[in-house]
Amino acid sequence: MPDRKRVAIKRPVSIREKVYAAVRDNILDGRIAPGERVVETRLAEEIKTSRTPVREALHMLEREGLLEAIPRVGYRVKQITWDEIEEISEIRKANECLAARWAVERITSRELKALEENLVISEREVKAGNPQAFVELDAEFHEILVRASGSERLQELCQMLRRHMLRYRIESIFRKENVIRGIGWHNRIFDCLKRKDEPGITEALRQHMEQTREDIRRYAFGEEQKVGMGQ
């Protein structure tokens, strides 16, 4: 008898996990703002479930550092400090530079084509007066780059770090001059990938990340900094 293939059955997703994922996505995407209260009873009513899975989900988010507990009040979205931004920036830079180095050797022609198409669409949207589209296009560019590393663990980690940064980057990423500069860095990274230039892509990505950090300092924390490619 021929060997039968095993049937893969996915584990059911619990209500707690669904609540956790939904609230987490809303926080990381900025739909629930820093400092905003997250009320257990209101969430349970909206989701039409008991308070127990909601309470467990919120406690998970507290352990993750996205929420903070307020005695006799409940939870609120944790405000992030500049020290935390710097820490996340450094960790993200280290991980994405590693992903880029691996991508130099492992990237496929299909992934290169996807990056090229991303750049074409990004430039077209800017010319059409729609810099807001760069929020998704920027995320897509970095996701393709990290995916090309061939490491699922790096993908998960880089995605989480980038979304943490996005909460504070939204205000700066909507500005046309920042979008044009970001596309410039993406073009430079893409050129290095095509040439298999490992030192070049590492340096381009490092400078791109540092510019992103300074944009956050300038627009989210109100500290004027010199901004410009290569500064």
Model confidence pLDDT, tens digit, residues 101-129: 999 999 999 999 999 999 999 999 999 99
pLDDT in tens, 140-158: 999 999 999 999 999 999 9
Annotation: CATH topology of 82-219:
Four Helix Bundle (Hemerythrin (Met), subunit A) (1.20.120)
CA 83 to chain centre: 18
Q: Which two tokens stand for residue 34?
A: 């820093």
Single-letter amino acid code for the residue at 160? M
Q: Rounded to whole angstroms, how far apart are CA atoms 96 and 94?
A: 6
Contact predicate 181/227, CB 8 Å? yes
CATH code of 15-77, in short, is 1.10.10.10
Looking only at the bridges linking them, the beta strands covering 67-70 and 37-38 are: unpaired
Contact predicate 123/183, CB 8 Å? yes
Contact predicate 158/95, CB 8 Å? yes
Is the pLDDT confidence value at 5 over 70? no
Residue 231 pLDDT level (bands cut at 50, 70, 90): very low
Query: Exposed, middle or buried, 67 (CB in 10 Å: 0-12/13-18/19+)?
Result: buried
Average pLDDT score, the chain: 86
User: For residue 151, what is the DSSP state?
Assistant: -
Query: Which ranges in the chain are annotated with CATH 1.10.10.10?
Result: 15-77
Query: Which ranges in the chain are annotated with CATH 1.20.120.530?
Result: 82-219
- pTM beyond 0.95, yes or no: no
